[in-house]
């Protein structure tokens, strides 16, 4: 009889324990994956060939050459699959930066939104199919500016 | 599962410099495999960096961004010990997110 009671008691404790854990985990909110929203991703801009067409598709205007955009990228790329590109600018009130590769099937490689408080600087690695101009577009005070630099690619980055 | 994102964020003189490396194939949709079949496009479309719930950097990427993409950016207004959230979503709807502490 005593054994029975002990067993029952243990079962009870064990059961309560399990229930407690279940309740506890329920109370802790599950970590929600805060996935970014891809609905604003511009399919059209990313599938437009040609630099000027892409810029007007992206920003609805033409970009003016500017010497205040500094681009840091190799003049000769051994491997077109990985070409580091760094863009920095002294232009004021920058809200966006875009990187374009002129000779790629679709010119646009990346666009960056620069909220207030973020410096107009970005470094990224891009693929290039062949020797090409790389164009950096900077949106400053609502106007588009661009700078261009040529990269000699010895091995293309688009396979095939 | 280990995160696909590796982040290093360092604050110095009021400016936080963040370097992120994401493990992702970034298939362009133009490449053929050894059997001659086109490898379908599979690339990250949007990557965001948030500090205290505010987005400090948003990158929209196309398939011309290199495999295992690298990104560096700089922003003001954060201090050592602050938490950053880095998230991405790709064209197949897969996503990942990680937290980093500013050093």
Q: pLDDT tens digits for A96-133? A: 999 999 999 899 999 999 999 999 999 999 999 899 99
Q: Which of B30, B66, B89 sits opposite A82 (nearest CB)?
A: B66
CA A2 from chain center: how many Å?
A: 68
Query: For the segment B86-95, what is each residue's pLDDT rounded down to a tens digit?
Result: 999 999 999 9
**Partner residue facing B62 (CB), from A81, A106, A158:** A106
- Of the candidates A42, A119, A126, the beta carbon closest to that of B64 is on A126
B→A contacts (Cβ < 8 Å), by residue, are 15, 26, 28, 30-32, 45-48, 50, 54-67, 69-77, 85, 87-89, 91, 95-97
Q: How far apart are CA A158 and CA A129, in angstroms?
A: 5
Contacts of B76 in chain A (CB under 8 A): 117-119
pLDDT digits (tens, 9 = 90+) for B20-75: 999 999 998 888 888 888 899 999 999 999 998 899 999 999 999 999 999 999 99
Q: What is the pLDDT of residue A157?
A: 63
> Which residues contact residue B3 at a Cβ distance below 8 angstroms, ignoring those fewer than 6 apart?
B96, B98
Nearest to A71 by CA among A129, A153, A151: A151
Cβ separation of B89 and A38 shorter than 8 Å? yes
Other CB atoms within 10 Å distance of the CB of residue A101: 29
Which among B62, B69, B96 is the nearest to A108, CB-wise? B62
Whole-model pTM: value is 0.82
What is the band of A11 on the pLDDT scale with cuts at 50, 70, 90? low
Beta-strand relationship, A83-89 and A69-72: antiparallel
The hierarchical CATH code for the domain A43-153 is 2.60.40.2470
Residue A160: pLDDT band with limits 50, 70, 90: very low
Q: Where are the domains of chain A?
A: 43-153
C-alpha torsion A51→A57→A61→A67, nearest 10? -30
Contact A160 B15 (CB under 8 A): no
User: What is residue A122's DSSP assignment?
Assistant: E
- Residue A11 in tokens: 């079962």
Spacing of C-alpha A120 from chain mean position: 15
Q: Which two tokens stand for residue B45?
A: 């479309």
DSSP label at residue B32: B
What pLDDT was estimated at residue A4? 60
The domain defined by B5-101 folds into Immunoglobulin-like (2.60.40)
Number of A–B residue contacts, CB under 8 Å: 134
Cα of A19 to nearest chain B Cα, Å = 28
Q: Is the pLDDT of residue A24 over 80?
A: no
According to the model, what pLDDT value does residue A129 have?
86
Cβ(A98)–Cβ(A110) below 8 Å = yes
Instruction: Name the residue ranges covered by the structural domains of chain B.
Output: 5-101
d(CA A82, CA A84): 6
Average the pLDDT over B77-100 and give the result: 93
């Amino acid at each position: 009889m005593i054994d029975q009671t002990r067993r029952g008691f243990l079962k009870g404790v064990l059961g309560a324990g399990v229930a407690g854990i279940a309740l506890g985990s329920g109370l802790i909110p599950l970590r929600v994956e805060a996935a970014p929203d891809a609905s604003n991703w511009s399919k059209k801009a990313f599938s437009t060939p040609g630099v000027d067409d892409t810029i007007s598709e992206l920003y609805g205007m033409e970009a003016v050459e500017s010497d205040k955009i500094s681009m840091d990228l190799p003049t000769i790329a051994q491997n077109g699959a990985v070409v580091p590109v760094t863009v920095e600018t002294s232009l004021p009130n920058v809200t966006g930066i875009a990187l374009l590769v002129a000779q790629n099937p679709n010119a646009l490689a990346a666009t960056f939104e620069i909220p207030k408080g973020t410096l107009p600087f970005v470094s990224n690695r891009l693929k290039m199919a062949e020797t090409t101009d790389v164009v950096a577009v900077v949106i400053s005070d609502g106007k588009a500016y661009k700078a261009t630099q040529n990269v000699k690619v010895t091995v293309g980055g688009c396979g095939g | 599962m280990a995160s696909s994102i590796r982040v290093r964020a360092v604050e110095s003189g009021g400016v936080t410099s963040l370097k992120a490396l994401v493990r992702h194939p970034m298939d362009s949709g133009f490449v053929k495999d050894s059997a001659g079949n086109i490898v379908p496009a599979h690339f990250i479309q949007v990557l965001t960096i948030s500090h205290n719930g505010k987005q400090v950097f948003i990158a929209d990427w196309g398939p011309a961004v290199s495999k295992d993409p690298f990104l560096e950016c700089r922003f003001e207004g954060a201090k050592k010990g602050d938490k950053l959230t880095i998230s991405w979503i790709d064209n197949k709807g897969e996503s990942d997110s990680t937290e980093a502490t500013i050093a």
